[in-house]
Every structure is written in structure tokens, then in C-alpha cells.
A and B are shown apart, each in its own frame.
Chain A
Amino acid sequence: MAILGNVQQRSFEVRIDGDSVGFRPGAC
């Protein structure tokens, strides 16, 4: 098992809609 932590999520927009998880780089 792995965990994607918040250091690696920074600047991505992470979007969760029930079916999928999306990552958009450079969003903030």
C-alpha cells in the first residue's frame, strides 16, 4: 500500500467526483 502525501499534491488541483480522481498540475 502507498500513500500520496500532501507534499506531492501541492500545486496540483485534485478533483474527486465519485468515479474518478483527476490531477491538474500547476493549478495554484
Chain B
Amino acid sequence: ARAAEAPRYVTVSAASFKPGSTCRDPDPVAPRRNGTSAVLRLTHRHGPCAPARASSLAAPSVADTLRADQRRAEYILRRVSGAGAQQLVGSKAAATVPASWGYDIGTLNYVVTASLGTPGVAQTLEVDTGSDLSWVQCKPCAASSCYSQKDPLFDPARSSSYAAVPCGGSACAGLGLYASGCSAAQCGYVVSYGDGSNTRGVYGSDTLTLTATDAVQGFLFGCGHAQSGLLTGIDGLLGLGRLPVSLVGQTAGAYGGAFSYCLPTKPSTTGYLTLGGAASAAAPGFATTQLLTSPGAPTYYIVMLTGISVGGQALSVPASAFAGGTVVDTGTVVTRLPPAAYAALRSAFRSGMTAYPSAAPNGILDTCYDLSGYSTVTLPSVALVLSSGATLTLGADGILSFGCLAFAASGSDGG
């Protein structure tokens, strides 16, 4: 019934797809539900609303973004399918990290600012629901071992509240697969990423100040002394995955393990990241669906996609095509669909776009259009239906990106 009520088309100004050169919401009034929430301003890393420290770096090209996105998606799919989990177990036993372990953070474009230490030092951190361990670059860090960043390096020696995690304790043991031996009785950590990027250093604790009124005492994070790869420019990463070492896990006592975020539509607007605020399932305005888990990949938040409609018409895709579940990931750019579902979506979308000239494919995006010369664009609506009937009717920005249908197949049939 909901699908039948969905709009058949969405019409927007062609200019709305442009990123915008000025921040339209430089200091929004953050939503605040109750006294147990901490709300952080969230922005696109490359845009006029980004912290000045992060915005001067050039954005990666579309081609680079899509290539990095494909590596991340392939990694996630391997982990969820079980192959990645086997690699993780093997890596622990061998005390080495295979190059394929981890993910590519080149597509993590959304940042928040928090302060670390006493006195607090501002850190621009990429938010990632697809990983757990948080880290920042720390002094000492030789130029050959750390990438350049706009903020001064965090110096644990100048923080009165910093403590290195000792070896042998529960906190060090909690690192699990991220553990990397001991040095001078300090607990070491390492995170290696699918493209060969990595961070390595000392596991430590310090005060993480989220807002003027919200701080996490004894926050455990990686103090990175050696980084390489596609990490340039950021101060660190905020892991929001499901494992206990993530920010969400560490603050479960204070915030109930609940969090929410809103990714801005374009770089010239802002969103937010809220820790806490657990509300009833009947919260107004929300379409709610069950949170699922994957035993082989416990980091991920998984929902069950059950159908897709285009132009108000449900696609003819067998339910079994969606049976594997859907990872909700802030670090993947383009939604990946099972091949049968993507083929049906693409066909229906193309049928609704015959008024526009097609354009050359762009990397993994194979359904592109030349929209130059149009003042408005009318797209077939796209709605994603989740278990329990929750329906996400996408806005134009969720349908078309880089001039292309912003979906891709998640692999080959039977893969």
C-alpha cells in the first residue's frame, strides 16, 4: 500500500545537483532530545561547511572515489560472506595482517570535530559505521611515517589525562584482532586496510570531549605513530561499529548504545551525529526496521531489504535475491544491490529516463545522462522497502549522483 502511495516521479532543479560553494548552514541548532544525548555537527569533508582545517585539501576525483568505493564494497561483501572472517582468524594466528584485511577509507567523506586530551586538542575525525577502532595521529611521528594533516599532531605527552594502555590488562585484550604486541609494556595496535593503507601505534586512553557539556573519560583509542596510504589530511577516525571497542560500545553505559546521524545532502549543508537519544520505536517520522547481525562480520549494522519500487511500481525481483541482508554503511558511497535487483532497477529507471540523452558510463556507474541544458530534471522515484514495511523514498540526491544512477551490482550471480 505504501509503495502504491509513493510518488511516481521526483522533479528537481538541475542546479540542485551542484555541490554549492558557500555553506548554507554554518552553525545549525543541533537537535537535542534529552539530557543524555551528545550532538556533534557533521559535515562533508570536502566542502564549504567542513572545518577549515580539513577543507583545504583537494577532493578526490570521481574516478578515484568510485575505485576506492569498489574496493571497500568488495571487502565488506567478502567479510559478510565469511571469507573475510576466515582471513581475520588466520591473521591473528599468524600475528600478521594480510593486505586484504580492512577497508578503504578513501570514501569516508563525513567528518565531525571533537577534542582529545587535557587541555583538549581539536581533532577532525572521519565517522565510520563500518569499523570499530578509533585512532588519531600522535607525536612522535616522523615525516616518513605519518601523512600530512592540517591540525597539529596530538601529543600525548602534553595531555595530563593521557595514559598508555598496559599490556596484559583487559583493555589491551579487548583489542582482539587489532592487537599488535607490546613495546615498553605498552599495548600496541594496528589496523590495515584493503588498499594497503594502515595505522599502527600505541593503544591509549584519554578524555574525548564531544561537546561543551559531553565528555568521555578514559576513551580508548589508537595513538597512531605510523600511517600510510590513502589517509592524507584527516586527523583520525571515529569508529562507530558494533564491537565494544567502538565509540558506541565504549559509551553504551552513558548513552545506551544508541546513536543517530544525518548525512547532509551536499557539501554545502550540514548534518549531525548524536550519541544517545534512544527513543521508542514509535518515534515520529521514522520508518523503523529490525537490526540484524552477521556472525562472521559483527562490526556491521544490517537490515533486510525486501523490495524496490521505481516510478511507484514494484520491481519484479524474487525475495530470495535480497535474502543476504543489507549492510548500512556510512563509508560506502554507492549502494550495492544483488545483481538481479540491480538489473531490474536499471531497466525500470532507464525506461523512465528516455527523455534525456544518455552519457558514457563512469566507472562502476553504467547508467549516466547528459543533463546539461536542462533547468529541471524529472526522475522516476525510487523507494527501498525494508522488512516490517519500512519504506525509504529517496530524494533526487539519493537517486542520481555524478550524473548517473547511483547504484551498482554487488557482484555476480552466484558469487
Contact = CB atoms under 8 A, between A and B. Distances in A.
Interface in B272-307: 272, 277-279, 281, 283, 285-291, 301, 303, 305
A26 B81 CA distance: 33
B301 A16 contact: yes
A8 B327 CA distance: 12
Contact of B303 (A4, A10, A15): A4
A5 B334 contact: yes
Nearest to B270: A28
Q: How large is the interface on B (under 10, 10 to 19, 20 to 34, 35 or more residues)?
A: 35 or more
Contacts of B395: 10-11, 25-26
Contacts of A28: 262-265, 269-272
A20 B100 CA distance: 31
Interface in A2-28: 2-28
Contacts of A7: 333-335, 397-398, 401, 406
Contacts, number: 176
A7 B109 CA distance: 11
B380 to A, nearest CB: 15
Contacts of B109: 6
A2 B271 contact: no
Contacts of A3: 73, 76-77, 326-327, 329, 332, 335-336, 410
Contact of A1 (B260, B324, B333): B324
B324 A2 contact: yes
Contacts of B107: 6
A6 B65 CA distance: 13
A12 B386 CA distance: 15
Given A2-B410, A20-B291, A21-B288, A15 B76 contact: no
A12 B269 CA distance: 13
A27 B110 CA distance: 16
A10 B278 CA distance: 21
B322 A8 contact: no
A1 B77 contact: yes
Given A23-B392, A28-B269, A17 B258 contact: yes
Contacts of B325: 1-2
Interface in B164-184: none
Given A7-B397, A28-B270, A22 B262 contact: no
A19 B262 contact: no
Nearest to A22: B286
Contacts of B278: 17-18
Given A1-B80, A1-B324, A21-B328, A11 B259 contact: no
B384 interface: yes
A18 B258 contact: yes
B390 interface: yes
A8 B410 contact: no
B338 A1 contact: yes
B285 to A, nearest CB: 4
B356 interface: no
A9 B406 contact: no
A5 B279 CA distance: 24
Contact of B335 (A2, A11, A17, A25): A2
B291 A6 contact: no
B264 A1 contact: no
Contact of A14 (B77, B257, B261, B324): B261
B20 to A, nearest CB: 14
Given A15-B260, A28-B272, A21 B289 contact: yes
B331 interface: yes
Given A13-B260, A16-B260, A23 B287 contact: yes
23 contacts: A1-B324, A1-B338, A3-B332, A3-B336, A3-B410, A4-B335, A5-B333, A6-B107, A6-B110, A6-B331, A6-B333, A7-B335, A7-B397, A9-B398, A15-B283, A16-B259, A17-B257, A17-B291, A21-B328, A22-B260, A22-B283, A23-B286, A25-B392
Interface of B: 69, 73, 76-77, 80-81, 107, 109-110, 129, 256-266, 269-272, 277-279, 281, 283, 285-291, 301, 303, 305, 322, 324-338, 341, 384, 390, 392-395, 397-398, 401, 406-407, 410
